[in-house]
Amino acid sequence: MDFTFLPKTAYKARTFVRYSIRSKEESASSAVIHSGFYYLGKNPSNIEKLVRLFKRGYASDSIANARAELKRTTEQEKNTLPEIIFCESSFDFAAVKSFVQFLKGNPLFATIPFIMDSTNLSEMEMGLYKKHMLADDILQIDDADQNSLVNKVRFLNKVKSKALEMNATLKEDESQVVPSVNFHSILKRSFDILVSLTALLLLSPVFILIAIAIRVESKGPILYISKRAGRGYKIFNFYKFRTMLAGADNRIKELSHLNQYAESESNDPSFFKINNDPRITRIGEFLRNTSLDELPQLLNVLLGDMSLVGNRPLPLYEAAKLTTDQCAQRFLAPAGMTGLWQIKKRGREDMSVEERISLDIDYANNYNFIYDLWIMANTPSAIIQKSSA
């Protein structure tokens, strides 16, 4: 296999470089592919690591050059589109924002995951990128585990591709039934805004007390913020009160043998849930049993990411496994704070993945404002229960 890699001196002399480890058979192929990486920046160690992982790639030391080069690929080399774009943190925020908007505006680039390198990013800058959701993920490339990085790229590709496909389906369906969909959407959204805004104002003292209790018991942030996939696989920041020890997400692999869904599936389970989870704090257990940990999602409802009633928004690693045509039906419904799953199955150890997906699909196929009111009326009885879910 031929390996082309320019030394640092050559790299500094040029603004755009192509790196590759290609066989002669690959070079002769003209099939359309989405493989390799595109790197914005000039960190040689990061580039070398990415070359080893993805075998081929491109690098530009300026955003302007990257934009021009990507445009050229759509016109001349459509078979060389990258499967992932990495960006160093040294670039100006406004320039990165403009580049991301450029990617989203082109159908060929909109499905390519965009990852920021967190090296040298301050907490304020990190918060700014998260707030504006400019990156699909933010991580330190040189410190990332190789297998984890490759797997992350694979499922981000899968989710983003399905999201565009799903959104196209939603727009097509809505254009065919404009009157009924618009009436329901307006009624549902108006109700969501009224209830969430009122609840946030009335419950603000409760928010303060819970925040104090969490901070007193354990170190870490008050809120747990994670990326979730909602309607049409739309990715957004999901808010909950933190109920686990800081860094709990890093222990998923360690505790995978306790996953209650694992026994019902021959392959990797689509959902992850542990009864009597050892990562949960004492305050966290109380918040979960009373569902008080869910209260910050009222902010998601007010922002329009979620509805009061809908299907549970899923972590990206779960959503990436539910992209078959049948399972994807669940993403036709809005993401919600409560839904059929919560009132019919929550807390039951005998709930299977198939049952949960079936309930989600049932809601997606039948939801309307009256149905939502019925689910909300039955939610309190589901909340008043002892569950470590």
Instruction: Return the pLDDT at 5.
Output: 38
Residues 17 and 103 in one domain: yes
Question: Do 105 and 199 belong to one domain?
Answer: no
How high is the pLDDT of residue 383?
A: 64
208 shares its domain with 342: yes
**Secondary structure of residue 123 in the 3-state scheme:** helix
Which DSSP string do the residues of 39-50 spell out, in sequence order? Answer: EES--HHHHHHH
Residues 8 and 75 in one domain: yes
Retrieve residue 181's tokens. 């969909």
- The CATH number for 127's domain is 3.40.50.2300
**How far is the C-alpha of 318 from the C-alpha of 353, rounded, in Å?**
11
Residue 389, in any domain of the structure: no
Is there a single domain that holds both residue 276 and residue 364? Answer: yes
Residue 192 and residue 339 in one domain? yes
- Tell me the C-alpha distance between 200 and 191, whole Å: 14
Assess whether 136 and 223 both reside in one domain. Answer: no
Task: Answer whether residue 106 is part of any domain.
Answer: yes
Q: How many CB atoms lie within 10 A of CB 106?
A: 13
| Confidence (pLDDT) at 198 | 96
- Any idea what the Cα angle at residue 275 is, between residues 272 and 279, rounded to 5°? 80
Tokens of residue 325, six digits:
């045509």
In a domain, 185, yes or no: yes
Give which of 345, 379, 382 is closest to 360, Cα–Cα.
345
Rg of the Cα atoms in the chain: 23
Element (H, E) at 66: helix 63-75
Residues 123, 226, single domain; the answer is: no
> Which residues, listed in sequence order, are joined to residue 280 by a DSSP beta bridge?
244
* pLDDT for 241: 94
Considering the domain architecture, whether residues 280 and 350 belong to the same structural domain is answered as: yes
CA-closest candidate to residue 249, choices 316, 151, 319, 297: 316
> Which pLDDT value is given to residue 350?
60
pLDDT in tens, the chain (389 residues): 233 333 333 333 344 565 554 444 444 334 445 678 889 998 888 888 888 888 778 888 889 888 888 887 766 655 567 888 999 988 888 899 999 999 988 878 888 889 999 888 887 788 788 777 788 888 888 887 777 787 778 777 777 776 666 666 555 555 544 444 457 778 899 999 999 999 999 999 999 999 999 999 888 889 988 888 888 778 889 999 998 887 655 555 555 545 555 544 445 544 555 666 677 888 988 998 888 999 999 999 999 999 999 999 988 777 777 766 667 788 888 999 998 888 876 555 566 777 888 888 889 888 888 889 999 988 887 666 544 43
Do residues 242 and 321 make contact, with C-beta atoms less than 8 angstroms apart? no
Residues 138, 230, single domain; the answer is no
User: Which residues are CB-neighbours of 326 under 8 A, at least 6 positions away?
Assistant: 361
Is there a domain that residue 66 lies in?
yes
Residue 214 lies in a domain: yes
pLDDT, residue 289, reads 84
167 in any annotated domain: no
Q: Which of 158, 187, 212 is the last residue of a domain?
A: 158
Distance CA 144, CA 263 (A): 30
Find, among 189, 160, 172, 155, the residue nearest to 305 by Cα.
Answer: 189
286 contacts: CB under 8 Å, gap ≥ 6: 292
Cα angle: 72, vertex 74, 79; to 5 degrees: 110
Residue 248 domain boundaries: 177-383
pLDDT given at position 178: 42
Q: How many domains does the chain have?
A: 2
**pLDDT tens across 2-21, in order?**
333 333 333 333 445 655 54
Q: Which phi and psi (to 5°) does residue 28 adopt?
A: -80, -15
pLDDT at 22: 46
CA–CA separation, 250 and 274 (whole Å): 15
Tell me whether residue 164 is in a domain.
no
- Domain's final residue, options 158, 186, 210: 158
Same domain, 135 and 214: no
**9 part of a folded domain:** yes
Same domain, 132 and 13: yes
Of all residues in the chain, what percent are helix, strand and coil, respectively (each to 5)? Answer: 55, 15, 30
- Domain-terminating residue out of 129, 158, 187: 158
- Residue 356's contacts (CB-CB under 8 Å, 6 or more residues apart) are 271, 341, 345
